[in-house]
Structure 1
Amino acid sequence: MPSSTPTVSLTPPPRRSGKRTRRVRGIIFLKDVAALGFTAFGGPQAHLAMMFRLLVDKRRYISMAELLELQALCALLPGPTSTQTITVIGFRLGGPNLAYLTLLVWMIPSVTLMTLAALTLSHLDPVRVTALVQFVQPVAVGFVAFSAYRIAEKVIHTKTAVALMVTAAMMAYFFQLPWMLPLLLLAGGAVTTVRYRKHAIIQEKKPLQVEWANFVLWLGILVGAAVLGHYTRLLPVRLFENFYRNGSLVFGGGQVLAPLLYAEFVEFKHYLTGPEFLSGLGLVQAMPGPNFSIAAYIGALAMRPAGGPATQVMGALVGTAGIFLPGTFLIFFVIRFWGRLRQYRVVQASLEGVNAVSAGLVCAATFLLYHPLPDKTLALPFHLGPIDTLPVNPLLVGTTFLLLLSEKVPSVFIVGVALLAGAFIR
């Protein structure tokens, strides 16, 4: 006779277990993002190098090809490329909630430092800050050089890819124009598109569906802020509109953003002086994280006539929100249908060219970042024939490259040693 006693499963529901696993993975990911936020010096290409080392090589959240693909996709959109890239990785791992947390954790260190710089402008000595990071800059170039090597190793497999990488590196090096980056990426994708027949046909393609919510939100805020600022004439609203408009229209990263902000906030609106702007521009180059955090510095100084430190902090928050939101909305709009768009053989074929061009751009960035470094020499404690000094920059770049190649020294440790050396060596 069958028993009426119900059986009890000792195995936890898989769905709940999956949620717990994703939550733990999300927390670990945010810790990694925080580590990058405090140590990623050197601008977008150096950020990419450190993302590759931590998020790809060590944690394996995504593959190298996926990282390059996402970085290239973000480079085709306006906004801060490295910020969009790490945000969309968070989106891939945990959806919109993790993506927004990723954005906050990534930008909080640099935004906080630039806000403090604005609040203490009269007491802050840019020379001391420059001295502190004097050895971090060549270390950052070492990260980029290592990234170029590993990226090329993983994505360059054909003669066409080699040709595209070399061509892109030369074009990016000799023609440093804001529209050159997206043009090269599009051209590289177009070259390999003709080989689409070599890719397998996906029999059951998911239908392409475009969700317009984020695009409408981006456009609505752009228009709404302009109208509201025009009629209210409130300084915080006008500041938000100014930064939001610039963040919506700038391609090419912080280097392109700087002259636009200078023209608007210094020459046209006189919110801060030329020396103040240049001090902030020098400081943001020395800070970890996104260069777009200079918006916090400008926003805080722009609010000086309206009140004290609390008002300036509000200006920093307004500037930060205005500059980072447009790129976030646009990448959220595109990434939602990108997975389905890349099902098509033409898109898959284009990715080979896009990845090859991306590798070339990182190679060019190695030399572009190295040239502006100030010449430094290290006196030897002993006499070695005709050699009494060693050039510091190539020594640090080479040492960083070899340490990263050994895969035994953490990136945080390398940057920390460079900062300590800057604090004690003049």
Structure 2
Amino acid sequence: MTALAHSRHPLRFGNFRAYLWSRFAAVLAQYAMMTILGWQAYNIARGTMSTSGAAAQLGLIGLIQFLPLFFLTPLTGWVADHFDRRYISRITLFILIAASGVLALATYEGWISLPLIFGIAAVVGVTRAFNGPAYSALAPNLIPRDVLPNAIAISSVAWQTGMIAGPALGGYAYAIEPWGAYAVASGLFALAWVGMMMISPVPQPPRDTTRHPIRQMVDGFTYVRSNRLVLASMTLDLFAVLLAGATALLPVYARDILHVGSRGLGHLAASPAIGAGLVALFFSIRPMQRDVGVKMLAAVIIFGLATILFGCTAFLPTSIAMEVGIGALVTLGAADMVSVYVRQSLIQLHTPDAMRGRVSSLSQLTISASNELGEAESGFLAALVGPVVAVIGGGIGAIIITLFWARLFPELRLARTFDPPDIREADISQEKAT
């Protein structure tokens, strides 16, 4: 154990390997399921609605997933800090197995409908509200602190690889047999459950039994508000990605703008994750060490520019629109991965273990607000002004927000490394002593 504790590579730890396997399978299943869920909802809606009306249904799916996270965040973070995080993940994965199984059966027998899709989206939203903080807070318990940034990069590789293969797998499986996409997702959730079962007991943070649970829930908000670097990292992603929600409108682009069908949707949906996966793989080999705040800000600006370029594919000749769109989405994903890597490293390393569940739940809330609520915003805005204007305007908004955040939170652009100030000062003192 002592030899492993000094290992610089997270994959030397069996618990982390099982966690990585579980995370990859769960993300693969989630993105396969949700991509097809949106595709089915849009196509069912287009049977009786206009393009704008069907796009609004995509926004409604995002909103339905976000609302449980919004209302349950204080509770789910407290639960992740007071109960075994492995058990929470196992229970939620079992629910996702059942949800994807119901979708497979409904599609196979032909009684899939918008109310059922919205109902499953709500179940997924509640499940993810509990699953996310438990997963995120568990990872730092499996490895030594000094290899956590490297572990975050490796975990991000698994996440982004799942994002790459998930939508493509879902799209291709749906093209072969519509119900098969959900059956595959259910099987992958089962594999994720097996991986979580393989994680042995890990140290749990001490439970505070001296104060009321509600007061402890409030502590998470208080901590984030008082740590301006953590607050800036969370809220920049929240507002920038909330506005630039191009991926939410991929079904609209695939069917009615680029005219590439379900297979083309798979290519488009996988493109951001290809760029993100390549960047995450690079960071897993060479972790970022310097000027982390400035690099995060620059990455979000590039994210906005790539979103604008993707939106403009509507004006390009059909012969090159798909290629330019894929290139823009790959760049968008790569830039987003830089932002994700910096944000997650800062949050995990600047948060005490006893509070990681509550802080992770708030982080998930901002991520979900930027993703699911961003889907709602993009869908509803597309219904009002059209999908092209919604995408391009969102990219411009993300750039403006980033420039404003750089001025509002100087702590972010001045952040040189991931280490909290007390650790950096200790390192400096040690160097002077030697």
Structure-2-length-normalised TM-score: 0.29
Question: In proportion to residue count, which structure has more helix?
Answer: 2
Structure-1-length-normalised TM-score: 0.29
Structure of greater Rg: 1
